[in-house]
Amino acid sequence: MATEYEPKTVGHAIDGIEEFDNPLPRWWLMLFYVSIVIAVVYWFLYPSWFGEGILQWSQHKQYEEEISLAKKKYPEKTLAIADLVGNPESIAKGKEVFAQNCAACHGPEAKGLVGPNLTDETWLYGGKPEEIVHTVTNGTAKGMPTWKSVLGQEKIGNVASFVYSLSHSGN
């Protein structure tokens, strides 16, 4: 009752090694065909050679939507420098920040070393509170570094209040 199994070959051999004609497993073939169908559907739904696709989706639109949602959820706080100017608490905090970060260039009394004197009435980049904030935040082309990422908005406001008080204490 024992039958001998004779495998099918494709008919050629190299160095005594024959190539067998075994069919692929059905599960593998089904997975392969399903993958092809999914790829074709994806090709028409999303951007490809055929343009924007049926769904009209793009990564740029997705990005813009996410940014607008984030701006709604986390509105940008604006610095009210007018509230900080003349505020003794803000000036005291600004003096601490100045001593830690600015005194190296402007000197401990802000009379100027590498950086300019901040106690006189001469301002290279504007002496209004908003202009001081802009200069501290963005820096200048002549050596003032950008402090936006280092200090943050609150500390910049305080240091701008302190710097403004140095030359406008009588006003």
Paired with 48 in beta bridges are 51
Q: What is the mean pLDDT of each run of 10 residues along the chain (171 residues)?
A: 71 85 92 97 86 87 94 80 78 88 86 83 82 86 85 86 78 44
At which of 26, 43, 73 does a domain end? Answer: 73
Q: What are phi and psi of 113, to 5 degrees?
A: -130, -95
Structure tokens at 14: 């190299």
Which residue, 133, 153, 130, is CA-closest to 144? 133
Q: Give the pTM.
A: 0.54
Name the one residue in this structure whose structure tokens are 């500390």.
155
Structure tokens at 167: 């030359």
* 1 lies in some domain: no
Same structural domain for residues 100 and 156? yes
Same structural domain for residues 103 and 149? yes
